[in-house]
């Protein structure tokens, strides 16, 4: 757990959200959109990042100095929302929540304390963890790029949040996305890994719905539902692409950006 605490705790976080989450239908599109936007931000960031070889200042780096971490936080918030964001619905709309022993009812609202505690605790931890990493990385970047990095810090003063005046300069549109650079930064296996999680979270809501129907007397087997096979297809597709990307990245490890 001590070697890569961020990655280790993130796996625990995702697993607990998936196992104990109570997805709310109206929040699912919101959460999924936020996850996709977060991972897109990570992809764009790594596609222009050459680490200590060249200082990245345009594109997403013109809006915030650490778009990779910002995208990761955004994606984690999206998964929290997909898990219900600590809620399990409104009383007359959430009969499924009532049968779960860990869901609490307050008036007309069902609260999921496990998701709420796990989500808030992890997000506080990951922001603190990233800020510590940023401080260490800034020291190294200052040593490598000197005055250029100091000027960049003045131009883009925010570490994680977007810097609104940057949108007026338009240099966030002036960047070149390199597939080679993204590949060397091993971003594709990461994005596809979270694609697997996204499919799992989306499939869980449909699975809960089918189980609820089964308990209500609709004895249609799960494999008879069309969306079940769509779910299986997407899941297997993302797993296969993730494995391919992982193997290719391992093969070309010597070319990796450092």
Q: pLDDT tens across 12-31, in order?
A: 999 999 999 988 888 999 99
Q: Residue 256 pLDDT > 70, yes or no?
A: no
Residue that has been written with the tokens 């780096």 in this structure? 61
| pLDDT tens digits along 170-190 | 888 888 888 888 888 889 999
At 100, is the pLDDT very low, low, confident or very high (cuts 50, 70, 90)? Answer: confident
At 238, is the pLDDT very low, low, confident or very high (cuts 50, 70, 90)? Answer: very high
Residue that has been written with the tokens 């990385």 in this structure? 137
Q: Residue 64 pLDDT > 80, yes or no?
A: yes
Q: Residue 97 pLDDT > 80, yes or no?
A: no
| pLDDT tens digits along 240-252 | 999 998 888 777 6
Mean residue pLDDT across the chain: 85
At 2, is the pLDDT very low, low, confident or very high (cuts 50, 70, 90)? Answer: very low
Pairing type for strands 87-90 and 104-106 reads: unpaired
Distance CA 36, CA 191 (A): 9
> What does the pLDDT read at residue 246?
85
> What does the pLDDT read at residue 137?
92
Task: Give the 3-state secondary structure of residue 89.
Answer: strand
CA atoms 72, 73, 74, 77: torsion sign = positive
Angle between helices 113-145 and 5-20 (to 10 degrees): 160
| pLDDT tens digits along 123-175 | 999 999 999 999 999 999 999 999 999 999 999 999 999 999 998 888 888 88
Structure tokens at 108: 């007309």
For residue 136, what is the enclosing H or E element? helix 113-145
Q: Indicate the number of domains in the chain.
A: 1
**205 contacts: CB under 8 Å, gap ≥ 6:** 23, 25, 28
At 222, is the pLDDT very low, low, confident or very high (cuts 50, 70, 90)? Answer: low
Q: Look up the domain containing 30 and give its range.
A: 5-255
- The residue ranges of DSSP E strands in the chain, in sequence order, are 87-90, 104-106, 109-111
């Amino acid at each position: 757990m001590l070697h890569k605490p961020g990655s280790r705790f993130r796996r625990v976080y995702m697993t607990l959200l998936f196992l104990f989450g109570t997805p709310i239908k109206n929040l699912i599109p919101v959460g999924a959109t936020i996850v996709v936007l977060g991972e897109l931000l990570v992809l764009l960031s790594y596609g222009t990042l050459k680490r200590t070889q060249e200082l990245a200042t345009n594109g997403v780096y013109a809006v915030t100095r650490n778009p990779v971490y910002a995208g990761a936080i955004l994606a984690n918030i999206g998964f929290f929302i997909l898990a219900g964001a600590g809620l399990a619905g409104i009383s007359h709309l959430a009969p499924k929540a009532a049968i779960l022993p860990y869901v609490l009812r307050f008036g007309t609202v069902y609260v999921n304390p496990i998701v709420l505690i796990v989500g808030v605790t992890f997000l506080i931890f990951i922001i603190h963890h990233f800020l510590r990493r940023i401080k260490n990385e800034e020291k190294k970047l200052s040593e490598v790029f000197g005055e250029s990095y100091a000027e960049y810090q003045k131009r883009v003063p925010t570490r994680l949040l977007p810097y609104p005046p940057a949108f007026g300069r338009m240099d966030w549109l002036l960047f070149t996305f390199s597939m080679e650079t993204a590949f060397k930064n091993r971003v594709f296996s990461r994005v596809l890994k979270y694609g697997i999680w996204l499919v799992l979270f989306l499939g869980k809501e449909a699975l809960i719905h089918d189980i609820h129907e089964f308990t209500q007397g609709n004895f249609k087997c799960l494999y008879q539902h069309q969306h079940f096979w769509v779910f299986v297809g997407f899941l297997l597709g993302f797993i296969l692409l993730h494995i391919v990307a992982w193997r290719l990245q391992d093969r070309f490890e010597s070319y990796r950006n450092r």
